[in-house]
Amino acid sequence: MGNEKTRRGAVFFDRDGTLNVDKDYLYRIEDFEWLEDAPQAIRWANERGLLVIVITNQSGVARGYFAEEDVRRLHDWMNKDLARFGAHIDAFYYCPHLPNGSVAAYAKECNCRKPKPGLIERACADFDIDREASLLIGDKPRDVECAEAAGVRGVLYGGGSLSALLEKGLDGTK
């Protein structure tokens, strides 16, 4: 009976345009709208023992459109809403930075703004993730580029059934 952690695979999801309708600088709960079968795709991954982690750029913080607390509030609400579907997201990682942002504290180069791999690297360290048994699904080429830079398979989402894409994408892992 050791305390050894078993390495697990993960599904990393981009947020805007992958899990929810992409609305410019979304931070208000009342503006949030799940895409197609996103909650079902998350539940599918939960049921298979995969970690579900959201990786998202949130430059609206650096632009002064909203605060980090607004991002966290929306993410907390997303998980509360997912409970209706018997699903949950294990962790949210976001980048509030933008090199030419108007809020000085966030106007900088960083390793966490996709396509750089910092957010995935941090999640993998925090959860001891098996990268070979993981993938990232996102709607932009920078999402795939980020995944590949972190040693995780990247899958480009172009609409339609997220569940079907997830199941097909996982066939290529391990």
Active site residues: 14, 16
Structure tokens at 37: 């079968």
- Tell which residue, 170, 163, 171, has the closest CA to residue 44: 163
Query: Residue 36 and residue 71: Cα distance in Å, rounded?
Result: 22
What is the helix (H) or strand (E) element at residue 12, kind and residue range? strand 10-13
In Å, what is the CA distance from 74 to each residue of 52, 69, 115, 133? 17, 9, 23, 29
In Å, what is the CA distance from 141 to each residue of 9, 25, 72, 146, 170? 22, 19, 25, 9, 19
- Tell which residue, 111, 134, 173, has the closest CA to residue 13: 134
